[in-house]
Chain A
Amino acid sequence: DSGVTQTPKHLITATGQRVTLRCSPRSGDLSVYWYQQSLDQGLQFLIQYYNGEERAKGNILERFSAQQFPDLHSELNLSSLELGDSALYFCASSVGTGRSYEQYFGPGTRLTVT
């Protein structure tokens, strides 16, 4: 158990819909990262927040957005869902945002778009 929690574990929805994935980082961790893992793309970095502020963006679609709240939990919002958005979505957290800080991953949310 990494200490990072994600809800829900599974999500099944239809194309065109909008969903919200939630992540609670480990106690004391200020940085949150979101990753997407699909069969054909592998693990892809989406976005990072540090202490409430966006720090970096990766291959995140414009239909996707995220935020980190004052209590440091984070939400990833996915809208206008397409079949290709079906994937595992992982959240990770770290104490800081320096190079020496390892990231701890949550168990993931499996999204299925039908």
Chain B
Amino acid sequence: DAKTTQPPSMDCAEGRAANLPCNHSTISGNEYVYWYRQIHSQGPQYIIHGLKNNETNEMASLIITEDRKSSTLILPHATLRDTAVYYCPDGGGDSSYKLIFGSGTRLLVRP
């Protein structure tokens, strides 16, 4: 079972920032925080990951709290193409580094 929890749905207006939260209260000290998204039934798309520090790439920013029990994915200027299900999967905690996906957050970007 996934050890991360996310709100089931969110929405935001096009052009505004989308802030998606994730709680990972049981994350271990050396486990990375990952974010993926899935548009319709396409393969999940890697977005960003981090360990302790905040991270930014061309797609998004990742804010990790100091105690690492929660994180926020920020899409700075959401577009209609960002409408998708966003996941912060659990890392499994063993040597396989498999991803354990929960139900994710369905983000709807409104025109």
Interface residues of A (CB under 8 A from B): 2, 4, 33, 35, 37, 42-45, 48, 55-56, 58, 88, 90, 92, 94, 97-108, 110
Query: Residue on B with the closest CB to A104?
Result: B46
> Would A43 and B44 count as touching, CB distance under 8 A?
yes
Provide the residues of chain A in CB contact with B43, threshold 8 Å. Answer: 2, 4, 90, 92, 105-108
Provide the residues of chain B in CB contact with A106, threshold 8 Å. Answer: 43
Interface residues of B (CB under 8 A from A): 30-32, 34, 36, 41-46, 49, 51, 87, 91-92, 94-103
CA distance A103 to B36 in the complex (A): 10
> Would A99 and B46 count as touching, CB distance under 8 A?
no
Provide the residues of chain B in CB contact with A45, threshold 8 Å. Answer: 92, 98-100
> Would A56 and B98 count as touching, CB distance under 8 A?
yes
> Would A56 and B94 count as touching, CB distance under 8 A?
yes
Known: A2-B43, A43-B44, A102-B46. A33 touches B98 (CB 8 A): yes
> Would B96 and A55 count as touching, CB distance under 8 A?
yes
A31 to chain B, nearest CB (A): 8
Provide the residues of chain A in CB contact with B34, threshold 8 Å. Answer: 102
Main secondary structure of the interface of A (DSSP, over half): strand
> Would B99 and A97 count as touching, CB distance under 8 A?
no
> Would B98 and A58 count as touching, CB distance under 8 A?
yes
Q: Can you list 9 contacts pairing A with B, beta carbon distance less than 8 Å?
A: A43-B44, A43-B99, A45-B92, A45-B98, A48-B97, A56-B94, A102-B34, A108-B42, A110-B41
> Would B101 and A43 count as touching, CB distance under 8 A?
yes
Query: Residue on B with the closest CB to A96?
Result: B97
Known: A90-B44, A108-B43. A98 touches B97 (CB 8 A): yes
Query: Residue on B with the closest CB to A2?
Result: B43
CA distance A44 to B102 in the complex (A): 9
